[in-house]
Structure 1
């Protein structure tokens, strides 16, 4: 239910973006910040939220997250301005950061047998498909009948139900030995993500004198993180994890796949409502060909990973996502059949990619490190979601800047979107290439060596 809460919020909000933009203003960058304020804060806090849950109790932190997320949703529905909406999305993200990492920690520690865990992650990931199926429809119906503010109301009953079920069924648990808090590492991660996202979103319309220093801050934060983390006994991010080819591959694939997803949803919303002129409900209906294969294939991908490993699902995912981007980029004026094909292809790709990411990230890791590895994978997902909206939105905004006066708004948006669709296709190709390179026997051998190194260091300590 926590995954449904978070993923439903994203899919519902995408359908509401044009209506929110018309009422609150802010243009393309305003819509970008409405999405990225959430995913950015979520990415920055996921690691510390997971370690806090290990220390204070997973159920306690999980329930706190449900309350804060629901409160943030209520505040978002009351937002009087674009700035207030962004601030309340931050409140939502603080609560959201306490949900899925804790849920994943429960799964990885409950289902200890690899094949069983892969199947469980597949079922868990199918909820994303459910949110894709229901989110655009529910969002379109609410926006068309009540208004965009209603899309935040649906989080309240789901949050309340999840809270009551947690009280009833989830026992309290803690890690035998919680990791120490790394305030410097946490600050550097937040500065890196925040400054990088700001520089990308504001680059098309802000002066260089304002963007370049922020980009330099992002570079300095990255250098500081690479210098600081290896010097801590218990770092926020153990850089030795990246000696494992499957773990490194899962991290890169997560960034690329979720960049493709967030960019795809962002561009689709504008294409359907601004270019095709559809109302929110019909725009939501058009996303069903994407939602159905995602829902059906996510648990199937989990079973394939359990039986045959992650290679086949990743290759299928990368190929399908790249093909979907090419359909939209190469045929901007294509008819309904091409549109359905593009959505279905992307649904196949995303349905196959989620289970391999988490399973590959934690495979071969010592059980004590599985939660941390899963948290890094979750952080990579959210970073990818942030960058996808930031980059595709920036490319779109840049293309809209010099558009001809003779063009209609729909024509200008369609032409400006084409380079952004190629970026989505490129992300799919990256999933394909990295999936091919970081799976197989040689890659698994690097994971085994990394696990041995981590176990040896733990024994020595």
Structure 2
């Protein structure tokens, strides 16, 4: 997300994209990533995390090639959505594979710490790497960068033993809740992006998103295998962590997008 944000001014000029198109170039990735992340963990439990991670890596790599070769902003947005699906399949499974293959509890804690630190380091590193790539080779280079990274990541995953599914039950994936989450988030993001230019459409989509949110809560409360469940004693700490993470992402990613748009307008 951060590396692409830096490339937005060049993407806008290279593909003749307006502000809404550039917003979708970012959100078409983050939307499926956010909406499918919880379901992907359950899919990995069912099918085996190694298999799902390999599928996610392959999908992300292929989508990165499509992004790099995109002739129009519409193709880029579609390819970014495929990238988001691949990332959603990868992320829960990579953590699960580390836990499954750790030799002992000490090694497990160390691996989880490295996993978290690597993800955290990517946030500030993205703008720096993206800026250098864009200046040296243009905006398409930020997508070509993913291809060798994916190839290198495939090697250790292929060497891991085949993980057995955690449960053979077919009802452990909350498909209904996932569909509602995807629909609600898609309507909400569309309302925010399209609302300024089409207020009636933004209001309609916002109303639909609110209705879907109520429906989603009702469905999840009745579901024996909801997308997200945790012990009551942990709710306070997890709520605080979610608020902090949400504010951090809003400030960093939202601020970065706005700064690149200001840069684009001043250059124009």
Q: TM-score range by the shorter chain?
A: 0.7 to 0.9
- Which residue is equivalent to 2:178? 186
- Which residue is equivalent to 1:174? 165
1:267 matched to 2:123: no
Shift of 1:215: 0.7
Q: Is the 8 A contact 2:12 2:18 kept in 1?
A: yes
Instruction: Tell which has more relative contact order, 1 or 2 (C-alpha 8 A, sep 6+).
Output: 2
In angstroms, what is the RMSD of aligned CA positions?
A: 2.7
Structure 1 segments unaligned to the other structure (5+ residues): 1-9, 275-408, 414-461
- Aligned pair in 2 of structure 1 residues 247, 132: CA closer, same or farther (>3 Å)? closer
Shift of 1:16: 0.8
Within-5 A mapping of 1:54-203:
54-107=45-98, 110=102, 120-128=111-119, 130-132=121-123, 134-169=125-160, 171-176=162-167, 180-203=172-195
Q: In 2, distance between residues paired with 1:194 and 1:228? A: 18
Q: Is the 8 A contact 1:142 1:151 kept in 2?
A: yes
Cα deviation, 1:199-237, whole Å, max 9, x if unaligned, reads: 11122221x221111111111111101111111221223
Q: Is the 8 A contact 1:230 1:239 kept in 2?
A: no
Q: Is the 8 A contact 2:36 2:85 kept in 1?
A: yes
- Which has the higher mean CA deviation after the structures are superposed, 233-242 or 160-169? 233-242
Q: In 2, distance between residues paired with 1:232 and 1:34? A: 34
- Aligned pair in 2 of structure 1 residues 111, 236: CA closer, same or farther (>3 Å)? farther
Shift of 1:104: 2.1
Shift of 1:261: 2.0
Q: Is the 8 A contact 1:14 1:265 kept in 2?
A: yes
- Which residue is equivalent to 2:37? 46
Count residues in correspondence.
266
The partner residue of 2:266 within 391, 406, 410 is 410
Q: In 2, distance between residues paired with 1:253 and 1:112? A: 31
Cα deviation, 1:370-390, whole Å, max 9, x if unaligned, reads: xxxxxxxxxxxxxxxxxxxxx
| Larger Rg belongs to | 1
- Aligned pair in 2 of structure 1 residues 181, 126: CA closer, same or farther (>3 Å)? closer
SS at match of 2:245: helix
